[in-house]
Amino acid sequence: MIMTSLSRLCFSTQRICLIILNQPLDKDYLHILWSKALLRACADGAANHLYNVTAGERDSFLPDYISGDFDSITTEVKAFYADKGCRLIETADQDLTDFTKCLAIMVEEIHRRQLQVDTIVTLGGLAGRLDQTMASVETLYHSLTMTQLPLLVIQGTSLACLLRPGSHRLQVNTGLEGEWCSLIPVGGPCQTLTTGLKWNLSNQVLQFGKLVSTSNTYEPVAPGEPRKPVTVTTDQPLLWSMGICKVKK
Amino acid sequence: MLVMDEELTPLDCLLPSGTQRICLIILNQPLDKDYLHILWSKALLRACADGAANHLYNVTAGERDSFLPDYISGDFDSITTEVKAFYADKGCRLIETADQDLTDFTKCLAIMVEEIHRRQLQVDTIVTLGGLAGRLDQTMASVETLYHSLTMTQLPLLVIQGTSLACLLRPPHIALQSVAFSTTSQAGQLPMEGQTTESEAVGE
């Protein structure tokens, strides 16, 4: 399975859908992802952040829908987007988070509209309350049974993506890669084989309490040479996380 | 066999009136001044993991002499030369723990556990400031240290940053194991073996 990560954000030909979560919004990420996205959605209070960050150009940033239990979105913001014709989809409180439910709607819409999509990209979800970061990881797990599409989560200078069991090739030459990368066995032990990392895994088992790959980096190459792709083979879902360098090198 | 429920008041350490006896580890993250002041005042031992010393140095400007850690440990790739020299001058132990598979946090914890044992201190909890924000892999590395701590010490390990606290609840039967790594201590101190010697099982 071939999968690019950051390259999907760079190349104008990549087809993405965008979910925005209830976290401070990075304007640069927002602008580039919004411009590429075939569908754009806000999970509840994310609409507040979108509203604030797009002051002066709000009409150019109208989401296709806002979903959630609406306990975070303000009355003013809700009314604004409703007035503009954005769908408000109330998803009642259950065991599923606003993120998971927003994703479910996104998957359904992609199917309903027969859209050709490469990746679903999420802004937010990796900072703030620790339990909400973990909830984002939980949504990554749910996504494995909800859609075949890769789901990326981006906030600050971190990107996270859950690799399905099997083999993956990650292209890491966009110029947007930060210095670090990691493989985190959040769901349980993963027998892992990698290439292209500075500290590769040779069919070792990653497991909390035994071995977790953090502060890893890419295999060094000669100056001027492109980085080799990172390949990861795993027998269980494995969380790939990497740093983002906001200034293209 | 009766297994006692482990009782813990996680936020006792942040209460001025709290009764827990704590030791403090500071990690390389922006330091919350309020948390620092209350935890420092209660702590029997205080340590910085590498670049944490930079944050401590900055946040305690004007009163640095009141905030001298017992030791600073790590691979020293984050601490600045100025900060390192300052604390060395003041007599703080600098313990270099060479790069391995263990993070600065885990190694700092190992030294803390050893010091508690060596000094025969009565401690209830080890509290860590930082470790839950910033890079996602470093948050996960903190979780990994929480896992390692289960075999390094009986003491609960709390991690606090921002408005989050994390603590790993242990199952009833975990055996303690030695954590062996070699360290060299600078500032004229003797080299120290980082090896715990406890080997009793928990819950028996």
SS3 A176: coil
| CB neighbour list of residue A145: distance below 8 Å, 6 or more residues apart | none
CB–CB contact B137 A208 (8 Å): no
Tell whether the model's pLDDT for residue A24 goes beyond 80.
yes
- Span A146-152, mean pLDDT? 97
The verdict on domain A12-156 having CATH code 2.30.31.70 is no
DSSP A117-154: -SEEEEE--SSSSHHHHHHHHHHHHHHHHH-SS-EEEE
Q: What is the mean pLDDT of residues A141-166?
A: 97
Residue with tokens 């909800």: A146
CA distance A92 to chain B (A): 27
B196 pLDDT higher than 70 = no
pLDDT band at A11 (very low <50, low <70, confident <90, very high): very low
Residues of B in contact with A216 (CB under 8 A): 137
pTM: 0.88
Asked whether the predicted pLDDT for residue B144 surpasses 90, the reply is yes
Q: Is A214 on the interface with B (CB under 8 A)?
A: yes
Amino acid at residue number A30: L
All CATH 2.60.120.320 domain ranges of chain A, comma separated, are: 162-244
Q: How far is CA B194 from the centre of its chain?
A: 14
Confidence of residue B30 (pLDDT cuts 50, 70, 90): very high
Q: With contacts defined as CB-CB under 8 Å, which chain A residues touch B136? A: 126, 133, 158, 160, 182, 241
pLDDT at A163: 97
Q: Does A127 touch chain B (CB under 8 A)?
A: yes
Give the A window 137-196 contacts with B, CB below 8 Å.
156-158, 160, 180-182, 184, 186
Q: Encode pLDDT of A210-229 as tens digits.
A: 999 999 999 999 998 999 99
Among A129, A211, A241, the residue with its CB nearest the CB of B136 is: A241
Question: Residues of B with CB below 8 A from A128's CB?
Answer: 162
pLDDT digits (tens, 9 = 90+) for B78-113: 999 999 999 999 999 999 998 677 899 999 999 999
| Closest CA in chain B for residue A206 | B144
B77 — contact with chain A (CB < 8 Å)?
A: no
Give tens-digit pLDDT for A105-115.
999 999 999 99
Tell me, yes or no, if A126 comes closer than 8 A to chain B by beta carbon: yes
Q: Where in chain A is the domain with CATH 3.40.50.10240?
A: 12-156
The reported pLDDT for the residue numbered B85 is 98
Residue A241 at interface with chain B, using a CB cutoff of 8 Å: yes
Confidence of residue A242 (pLDDT cuts 50, 70, 90): very high
pLDDT the model gives residue A98: 94
Q: Is B136 in the A-facing interface, judged by CB distances under 8 Å?
A: yes
Look over chain A and give the mean of its residue pLDDT values, rounded to a whole number. Answer: 93
Put simply, whether B17 touches A (Cβ < 8 Å) is no
- What pLDDT does residue B194 have? 37
Please give the ipTM for the structure prediction: 0.91
B164 and A214 within 8 Å at the Cβ level: the answer is: no
Q: Among partner residues A129, A157, A241, which is closest to B164 by beta-carbon distance?
A: A129
Instruction: Taking residues A134-163, report their average pLDDT.
Output: 97
Q: What is the mean pLDDT of residues A27-49?
A: 97
Please state, in angstroms and rounded to a whole number, the distance separating the CA atoms of residues A239 and B47: 31
Q: Supply the CATH classification number for the domain B12-167.
A: 3.40.50.10240
**How far is Cα A29 from Cα A61, in angstroms, rounded to an integer?**
13
> Nearest-CA distance from B186 to chain A in Å?
26
Give pLDDT tens digits for B34-65.
999 999 999 999 999 999 999 999 999 999 99
Q: Please tell me if residue A236 touches chain B, with a CB cutoff of 8 Å.
A: no
In this predicted structure, what is the pLDDT of residue A6?
A: 56
d(CA A79, CA A66): 12
Q: Has domain A162-244 been given CATH number 2.40.10.10?
A: no
Q: Which residue has the higher pLDDT, B200 or A152?
A: A152
pLDDT value, residue B164: 96
**pLDDT (0 to 100) of residue A93:** 66
CA gap A185, B136 in Å, rounded: 13
A65 touches chain B (CB under 8 A): no
The predicted pLDDT at position B195 comes to: 35
Quick one: pLDDT band at residue B186, thresholds 50, 70, 90? very low
